[in-house]
Structure 1
């Protein structure tokens, strides 16, 4: 009976909700609250296109401003930081965090740009989530808006954290969820999002996995002391692997965003 109820819930949800809404101007604070209440994402095409960074940022400018400032760099063999990985020792699945070290920003950026030419297997990615734009990337912070007005007014608070991610086509973010509202702003390049609503929790096969970390030789080593981390082990890009009896009812939403675009992602998506 429970199985049929979950199946009916998933089918009904997708019948009532299609693709996410695409806007071409900033929503009002009231409009945002309507999306928050419905727990539905939206894209604002060109939502951050007037920010100074859109006109200033390029390779030469970033190097000139950041120079050899040390930045924390994540390293994995497949661009799969913070993801479910097979443990080569016993074949179990663990939650693997990247190997991290500090590098001069110019060296890091040069590596990203030339990786395809050198066919390097090691993937590097700046992905710290510790408010790094007001920390190690503070020199670039002046080129961005300090907050997003419609969100600050609607939610009655300033951003808890403002983070900068820098990667290339080799870096991939594993399926995960945040328990708070997020707004992503694309400055350079593009990013393809694959979104699942919270109602699809039954599809993603979330399990508690042993925490692990890549070493500098890109081997996965279990952490000591051991910690259990909740992690989705099903991947919508490989729907037949590690699936549940409900995974076939998932309807992933593909959302590409390009320079100047803004994506609102509600809590728990």
Structure 2
């Protein structure tokens, strides 16, 4: 038995009014298939083009090793030239990913290749991030610290996206004082006997291809698997719900500082405590 996932609704194009009414107001994800076909990036953005413009840049790389007291969720594991990394991608599967990298700041020419969609959301213009991954590389299940509305544009190849709304948090073995699910869970092929609460979770799934746009509502959990080498860009809009804005404020100004303090005080014991509590609390809440 696998996860209870339904396909994310898809539309070829959409008006601003319909998007706000049927997806933002209802906090439902959607894939817009042809939103960015008028961008230069739609024609130009592939790994060869990135290599041509940014091959000499040193980029931070992440893999799928577990978080420890020494290394946080958003701390890179190594670095290399972008050209070397793209060579790795082209050679075959690699676990190394580029995560939350502001390549657009490093290579301003890329900024001319896209524009912010006129879709009814006010986007944070200084925060377009790029994400790269090799075939088979995975991003573990998490939600974003700022509870933003996210537009996720995919380029070059195909990636699988699994989403859960915030309402399903109680089933996902959330790690206390963190933004992640228990890292031992493989959401692409979960062991339901080991993680029984997952049976109750209802989520969404889709495969994104070149030029497609995924809208992820506020606070949605997301896990990505690169089916082929490729990359994506995300832009963000602040949460509209006051409750989510309050949660974002708590995360940014208290939770992450408390977690960092406890890491320093207790080290790996703090990480082990949180992982144990993720299991205990979830199973107790769900009587499993």
What CA deviation, in whole Å up to 9, does each residue of 1:100-120 have, x standing for no partner? 34422211111221134xxxx
| TM-score (norm: length of structure 1) | 0.68
Partner SS, residue 50 of structure 1: coil
Uncovered stretches (5+) of structure 2, i.e. residues with no partner? 221-288
Q: How many Å separate the matches in 2 of 1:115 and 1:49?
A: 28
Q: Which residue in the other structure is 2:187 paired with?
A: 236
Partner SS, residue 38 of structure 1: coil
* Deviant stretches of 4+, over 6 Å: none
Segment of structure 1 superposing worse, 65-74 or 17-26: 17-26
Alignment of 1:171-210 (within 5 A): 171-178=137-144, 179-208=147-176
Q: Which residue in the other structure is 1:168 paired with?
A: 134
Q: How many Å separate the matches in 2 of 1:111 and 1:236?
A: 25
The structure having more radius of gyration, on CA atoms, is: 1
Which residue among 116, 131, 148 is the counterpart of 2:117? Answer: 148
Contact 2:171-2:200 at 8 Å conserved across structures: yes
Q: How many Å separate the matches in 1 of 2:198 and 2:135?
A: 27
Aligned-residue offset at 1:44: 0.6
Q: How many Å separate the matches in 2 of 1:236 and 1:57?
A: 29
Aligned-residue offset at 1:62: 2.5
- Is 1:247 aligned to residue 217 of structure 2? no
Q: Which residue in the other structure is 1:100 paired with?
A: 77
Contact 2:6-2:203 at 8 Å conserved across structures: no
Which residue among 1, 22, 29 is the counterpart of 2:10? Answer: 22
| TM-score (norm: length of structure 2) | 0.63
Aligned-residue offset at 1:123: 2.3
Aligned-residue offset at 1:18: 6.1
Count of residue pairs the alignment pairs up:
211
What CA deviation, in whole Å up to 9, does each residue of 1:177-222 have, x standing for no partner? 12110011112111110111221111101123xxxxxxxxxxxxxx
Uncovered stretches (5+) of structure 1, i.e. residues with no partner? 1-13, 117-121, 209-227
Alignment of 1:5-84 (within 5 A): 19-29=7-17, 31-74=19-62, 76=63, 80=64
What CA deviation, in whole Å up to 9, does each residue of 1:201-246 have, x standing for no partner? 11101123xxxxxxxxxxxxxxxxxxx53431144331426525x4
- Is 1:257 aligned to residue 225 of structure 2? no
Aligned-residue offset at 1:35: 1.4
What CA deviation, in whole Å up to 9, does each residue of 1:68-112 have, x standing for no partner? 1222222x2xxx26xx56x7xxxx9x9655643442221111122
Q: Which residue in the other structure is 1:138 paired with?
A: 108
Which structure features the higher share of helix residues? 2
Partner SS, residue 140 of structure 1: helix
Distance 1:66 1:207, change over 3 A: closer
- Is 1:125 aligned to residue 97 of structure 2? yes
Q: Which residue in the other structure is 2:88 paired with?
A: 111
Contact 2:29-2:214 at 8 Å conserved across structures: yes
